[in-house]
Amino acid sequence: MTTDLQNMNLTVLMGGYSAEREISIRSGNAVADVLESAGARITRLDTAARGWHRDLPIETFAFNLLHGVGGEDGQIQELLESLGVHYSGSGPLGSALCMDKAKTKLVWQSLGFPTPDFEIIDAESDLAAVIDRLGPVFVKPISEGSSVGMSKAHDVSSLERALAKASESGVAVMAEALVQGDEFTVAILRGQPLPPIKIIPASDFYDFDAKYVLGTTRFECPAPLGEDEILALQALALEAFEASGAEVWGRVDLMRGASGWQLLEVNTVPGMTEHSLVPKAAAAAGMSFIDLLNEIYLGSMEVRRGA
């Protein structure tokens, strides 16, 4: 198999220090294994190690598989740019915005995109008033991925418990109006949406265990939608992705409720494990894992060289 990555010096960044460290290691090793099998020369670096950047090879390209804080929020992107190292995916500004779910939603609201109402809450909030205004809510840290710290709340007592759980992350917490309906995700690759996926968790919602532990979640890809519905969903996902400053590749999560599509968030470094959704969408579009990585590389180099 011949790709643009064959015989290249490539670095896969993984691990780090976020709550998603273990998932990042799995993503990074999955990517590194595929790249090695395609003939690339691979350096695997865990960014939690002191002085890791000193082990970056000369003239390397970095595949960033760091999920969450430190890897998906603009920090690693700023560092790599200061070192003159080209890297995969979104730049510092788009990464920072998309990592903050609340700020992303404010951008979408300003543009008239459909997204559930929300409020930032803390221990001083009038939780009864929050429930009165929003109804049942999803409570989540504003800058964690993989559904870390997320839970539903339908009344004041459950909202208190959900706030305490989400607050363990150490970042601000948001309460988002709960959308009753089906969950979908659309991967974006080099300005094109891939086939959408319908997510059918066996548990109450697509939480961390449903993603990475239980293995009971079902996925329908392409999603069982009519052609016009798919086109509308893909168009909305692409517009939301680009409006948030995201680049090259990523994933947009949505719900379809009684009032139609509702945007939830953008993932700029989605998982690339055996359970991950972007490889599933790429496969539905006829792409192998190495094809997907090659496209991420080509798109990233277009962005980095044009910066």
Which of the residues are catalytic?
A: 20, 146, 212, 251, 253, 265, 267, 271
Tokens of 181: 């309906």
Residue among 127, 111, 116 at smallest CA distance from 181: 116
Q: How many other β-carbons are positioned within 10 Å of the β-carbon of residue 209?
A: 14
Tokens of 173: 């917490």
Question: What are the b/e assignments for 14-44, b being 16+ CB within 10 Å?
Answer: bbbebbbbebbbbbbbbbbebbeebebebeb
Cα–Cα distance measured from residue 276 to residue 153, given in angstroms and rounded to the nearest whole number: 27
Find out whether 254 and 263 touch, Cβ atoms under 8 Å: yes
Cβ neighbours for 41, distance < 8 A, ≥ 6 positions apart: 7, 8, 9, 10
Q: How many other β-carbons are positioned within 10 Å of the β-carbon of residue 124?
A: 5
Cα–Cα distance measured from residue 187 to residue 83, given in angstroms and rounded to the nearest whole number: 29
Tokens of 276: 């991950």
Opening angle at CA 90, ends 11 and 107, nearest 5: 160
3-state SS, residue 31: helix
Count of positions (residues) in the chain: 307
Q: Which amino acid is at 13?
A: L
Phi, psi of 72 (to 5 degrees): -120, 5
Give the number of C-alpha atoms closer than 13 A to the C-alpha of residue 251, restricted to the C-beta side: 23
Longest dimension (CA), the chain: 60
